[in-house]
């Protein structure tokens, strides 16, 4: 599933259409990603409007459309597991997995989702919708403090640390590979319980969470290139991978319902 950096990358692909009117809209109203939407309302509101801008938070993105420079409609996109955005020529013809298309002069903005785990949300009005404005603070934001993290893990003391990192209400946008990266950098075993963290370990977890999110946005989020050399990311995907620090074989297990990889030497169970 795309994580916050991949979401940021896909969001920016549609920036090529900012400032340009939508000439035509096509959607698959009967498909799962558009569940609950009124297709006529979407088409009526967006046809003739201009894409004014966009932003991403966590695993979601929001596109603002308007008329005469003022916001009038908001389109939210959650990519799910296989969703992605792309830009095609204006002659583009949608295929079965292209569930939403905006045609502009010279291009088509396309949302594709083969497995249909993504979701499209739509709201009209001059202000961003409530579901967007009430999302939790980003891990990279000033509001994400070490004291907030300590309070959160204290409330989730029976959860594994890996499980806590995957909780979107506090670590928005962090997914499976980023959680493993954070724990490797923090030298924390993913199977430890959150309630066992020392104050120093909580501060390290806070620091590494912010660092991984920030650097991922600066690399993956810019042009989809891999994170820097030396990251656990580069060996995590190999069943025979070894730790970049100590060269010990990496272990694999299911933790918090997700395939998890870690270094048994750098991230021992008794720490």
CATH number of the domain residue 75 falls in: 3.20.190.10
Q: What is the CATH number of the domain that holds 164?
A: 1.10.8.50
Chosen domain end from 85, 102, 133: 133
**Is there a catalytic annotation at residue 143?**
no
Structural domain harbouring 252: 146-262
Q: What is the pLDDT of residues 161-216, one digit of tens each?
A: 999 999 999 999 999 999 999 999 999 999 999 989 999 999 999 999 999 999 99
Average pLDDT, the chain: 95
Of 271 and 62, which is predicted with more confidence? 62
242: which strand partners? 249
DSSP at 242? B
pLDDT higher than threshold 90 for residue 124: yes
**Is there a catalytic annotation at residue 67?**
no
Of the candidates 31, 150, 203, 258, the residue annotated as catalytic is 258
The pLDDT, as a whole number, for residue 2 is 79
**Is there a catalytic annotation at residue 150?**
no
The crossing angle, in degrees rounded to 10, of helices 199-223 and 146-155 is 110
Strand order, beta sheet including 84-88: 24-27, 98-104, 107-112, 84-88
End-to-end CA distance of the chain: 30
The pLDDT, as a whole number, for residue 240 is 82
Of 225 and 49, which is predicted with more confidence? 49
Domain match, 101 and 219 both: no
**In whole angstroms, what is the distance from residue 263 CA to residue 187 CA?**
9
DSSP string, 57-77: ETTEEEEEEEETTEEEEEEEE
β pairing state of 70-78 and 60-67: antiparallel
The pLDDT, as a whole number, for residue 1 is 65
Q: How many CB atoms lie within 10 A of CB 90?
A: 12
- pLDDT band at residue 271 using 50, 70 and 90 as cut-offs: low
Of the candidates 6, 11, 59, 244, the residue annotated as catalytic is 59
**pTM of this structure:** 0.90
How many domains, the chain?
2
The pLDDT, as a whole number, for residue 226 is 86
The pLDDT, as a whole number, for residue 16 is 97
**Is there a catalytic annotation at residue 6?**
no
Q: What is the pLDDT of residues 134-161, one digit of tens each?
A: 999 999 999 999 999 999 999 999 999 9
pLDDT higher than threshold 80 for residue 30: yes
């Amino acid at each position: 599933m795309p994580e916050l950096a991949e979401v940021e990358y896909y969001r920016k692909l549609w920036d090529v259409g900012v400032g340009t009117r939508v000439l035509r809209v096509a959607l698959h109203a009967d498909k799962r990603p558009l569940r609950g939407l009124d297709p006529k309302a979407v088409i009526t509101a967006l046809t003739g409007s201009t894409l004014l801008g966009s932003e991403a938070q966590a695993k979601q993105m929001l596109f603002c459309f308007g008329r005469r420079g003022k916001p009038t409609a908001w389109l939210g996109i959650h990519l799910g597991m296989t969703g992605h955005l792309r830009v095609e020529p204006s002659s583009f013809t949608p295929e079965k997995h292209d569930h939403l298309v905006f045609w502009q002069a010279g291009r088509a903005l396309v949302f594709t989702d083969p497995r249909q785990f993504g979701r499209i949300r739509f709201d009209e009005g001059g202000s961003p919708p409530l579901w967007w404005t009430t999302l939790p603070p980003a891990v990279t934001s000033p509001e994400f403090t070490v004291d907030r993290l300590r309070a959160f893990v204290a409330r989730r003391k029976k959860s594994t640390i890996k499980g806590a990192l995957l909780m979107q209400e506090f670590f928005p946008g962090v997914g499976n590979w980023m959680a493993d990266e954070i724990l490797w950098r923090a030298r924390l075993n993913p199977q430890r319980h959150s309630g066992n963290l020392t104050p120093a370990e909580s501060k390290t977890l806070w620091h590494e969470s912010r660092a991984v999110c920030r650097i991922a946005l600066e690399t993956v989020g810019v042009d989809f290139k891999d994170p820097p050399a030396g990251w656990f990311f580069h060996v995590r995907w190999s069943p025979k991978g070894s730790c970049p620090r100590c060269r010990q074989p990496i272990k694999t297990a299911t933790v918090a319902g997700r395939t998890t990889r870690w270094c048994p030497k750098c991230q021992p169970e008794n720490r």
